[in-house]
Copies of this chain bind each other. A is one copy, B any other.
Amino acid sequence: MTDTRLQILGSGSAMPTKTRNQVSQVLSLHNKSFMIDCGEATQVQMVRCSVSVSRLNHIFISHLHGDHCFGLVGLISTLGMKSRTADLYIHSHPALEPLLRPLLNFFCRDLSFRVFFEPYSQSSSEILYEDRSLIVSSFPLKHSLPSSGFLFKEKEKERHVLPEKLKFYRVPVKEIAAIKNGADFITDEGIVVPNAHLTTPPSPSISYAYCSDTVYDEKIIPYIEGVTLLYHEATFLHEHLSKAKATMHTTALQAATIAAKANVNRLLIGHFSARYIDTSPLLKEAQSVFPNTSLVEDGAIFDL
């Protein structure tokens, strides 16, 4: 699949540092952009990372700590100055709209587009978005307040038809859609041509799971099992496990353990505590358990 990538706008945690902004990511696929969390200065990072806003219609907020949502009003305000017209959907805990709507009414009068808050339950898994090729669903995390992870999962793709076989069996055009979806072909003579003779398997479907903020919790494994890419917070080194527990965060070792147990393809870790000036020990710790791990940095792009 072309053009499928995750761009990190903010890789830090609650306290911004000289190099790490508060949390935000943009997942681009199928010519659409989806924002995950929107900490303060997300709009600044979008300018600095040259992220297009024109195809951004959905923002998913994992939980209502400020470092995950303080950038929303500024972003919406600036989108208004760009004369955007497309509706914008903010998927979040129901408490967000009553907090932000008065600010939007005051600071973003005469917006050229509509903002819809789409509340979802953070105690269960819910489908938040679906189109022809993608499903976005939430699943519960365990944090100091209601928090959710997100799973972006491409739907199973169409099988690739073999043009020479279609020609050989004189398959009419109107049958091709069904064949791409796995149907056999029956000739005028009543002979069944198995689908496997006419097609090759579809390209693999891509999936991305985002887990922040949360304690180590194996209950999330069924949701993230086998994903192409997993982002999991790793706020602390395992030597600071007691701090991780007290603040309901995860250590790098724990994030890697989840990745290994969920059999994911690749792990990204981030949301590092501002105490770690040098974050390489966090990477080393995670890689000791799950080698295919990378650190996120502000501005980094990961192709899926």
Contacts and interface: CB of A to CB of B under 8 A. Distances in A.
Interface of A: 14-18, 21-22, 40-41, 43-44, 47-48, 64-66, 70-71, 73-74, 77-78, 81, 95, 98-99, 102-103, 106-108
A251 to B, nearest CB: 20
A66 to B, nearest CB: 4
Interface pairs A-B: 8 shortest CB-CB:
A41-B41, A40-B74, A66-B107, A16-B44, A70-B74, A66-B77, A41-B44, A18-B48
Count identical subunits in the complex. Answer: 2
A74 B65 CA distance: 11
B99 A99 contact: no
Contacts of A99: 102-103, 106
Contacts of A74: 22, 40, 66, 70
Given A65-B107, A66-B77, 4 more contacts: A40-B40, A66-B108, A70-B74, A99-B103
Nearest to A43: B16
Given A64-B106, A103-B99, A15 B81 contact: yes
Given A78-B15, A81-B14, A95-B106, A44 B40 contact: yes
Contact of A70 (B18, B47, B48, B73): B73
Contacts of A44: 16, 21, 40-41, 44
